[in-house]
Amino acid sequence: MEEKYTKAYAEKLDAKDELRAFRNEFYLKNEYVYMDGNSLGLMSKRAEQSVYDLLASWREYGIDGWTEGNQPWYYLSESLGGKMAGLIGAEKEEVVVTGSTTVNLHQLVSTFYEPKGNRTKVLADSLNFPSDIYALKAQLRGKGYDDSHLIQVQSEDGHILDEEAIINAMTEDVALIVLPSVLYRSGQILDMEKLTKAAHERGIKIGFDLCHSIGAIPHQLHDWDVDFAFWCTYKHLNGGPGSVAALYVNEKHFGVSPGLAGWFSSNKEKQFDMEHTLTPAEDAGAFQIGTPHVLSAAPLIGTLDLFHEAGIEKIRRKSLKLTAYMIELIEYELKEFNFVICNPVNDKQRGGHIYIEHLEAARICKALKMEKVIPDFRKPSGIRLAPVALYNSFEDVYDCVQILKNIMQEKVYEQFSNEREVVS
């Protein structure tokens, strides 16, 4: 056996890992291999402390916590947005932490979808996460159009999108484009710069869902001139279950009235004038709606500090090494078991997780959990494995593949039904 397929080789890679110290910042269960960070990131010790600190400010200040203490709640959404901006290549004023992914999508589409004349359609894709499509269809209905006004670019193989096909679908009847930055199944990275340039050449506004890319890959949204973006914070950003989402609006759109206005859409100097005519904030803060979810945003204070210390470029560099190593091990160790690797293998297009398919995928995922490996099942036959740069090691990747190999050799999966759990 070649050395690169041994555990000793994985240990050598870990010894050279420039981010290895960050593993100690997270709560990792003994003997478990966590490979589901693209669904829910692990808790960090700093995120935990941030929650305690916010609770302490509530205890100490009461209502004065809105303007007093180390993290005044009134400005928390904007200050966290500023800390997050570097992860997506945005100006600080272009980002605000608010709402949920789908609420933010509704806000942005209601703002930037302006059907006029023959331009009435929204362009999306057939591989996007369902909730984005639900929201787009609801927005169309709200403007008096039916589902026929939603164009979904198809995939030839069910895993990968052809960017030229997307560009060809940017026809004169398209008013708005909403696409994922990274496909949630296959992990394909779309060329956001290329697609934005093509959209703008045709007079179409374009936005991206960054749920599976933020915290895993670098972005340059401002320089690429992307109109808007939205994302959750509980996957690669490790903000915790239900942590507050965020959005980006290019500064060229500052001053546009939010499609869904609310209390915190206000200019902060005017908000408590209590007037019935909204004076919107002059930055991305205008696209907030309701009062900030302070306690649900609290973990981000600590976790974003970790990202600033590690650096997104180093995170991306290690992530690529982890996923390339996993692909190599899967191809070597599992070649006789009919697994199909469905994500791009080239670095430019590969996001932060591996996606493999097998007819017994649901049973295999249950067996992996029994053997203390935490994967992610996607109906009907997909297994997602996400080695996260901040807390997963090369030894984790090695152990994961070896355990999977043993499950297949011993047919451990046969004791389970091939049906998904309630949450998968």
List, by residue number, the catalytic residues.
Answer: 129, 209, 234-235, 384
In the numeric block, the tokens 């296959």 are attached to 186
Q: Is 263 annotated as a binding residue?
A: yes
Distance CA(370)–CA(404), nearest Å, equals 11
Q: Binding site annotation covers 234? A: yes
Nearest-angstrom CA–CA distance, 381 and 377: 8
Whether the upstream peptide bond of residue 380 has omega within 30° of 0, thus cis, is yes
What's the CA gap between 74 and 324, in Å, rounded?
A: 44
State the maximum Cα–Cα separation within the chain, in Å, rounded to a whole number.
74
Q: Which residues contact 216 (CB under 8 A, 6 or more apart)?
A: 38, 182, 236, 315, 316, 319, 351, 352, 388, 389
Residue 212 assigned to a binding site: yes
The torsion angles phi and psi of 273, rounded to 5 degrees, stand at -75, -15
Q: Does 130 count as an annotated binding residue?
A: yes
Is residue 257 annotated as involved in ligand binding?
no
Structure tokens, 260: 């869904």
- DSSP secondary structure of 313-380: HHHHHHHHHHHHHHHHHHHHHSGGGT-EE-S--STTTB-S-EEEE-TTHHHHHHHHHHTTEE-EEETT
Q: Is 131 annotated as a binding residue?
A: yes
Residue 102 annotated as binding?
A: yes
C-alpha–C-alpha distance, residues 355 and 341, integer Å: 6
Tokens of 243: 């942590």
Annotation: binding site for pyridoxal 5'-phosphate: 101-102, 129-132, 209, 212, 234, 263, 291
Annotation: binding site: 101-102, 129-132, 209, 212, 234, 263, 291
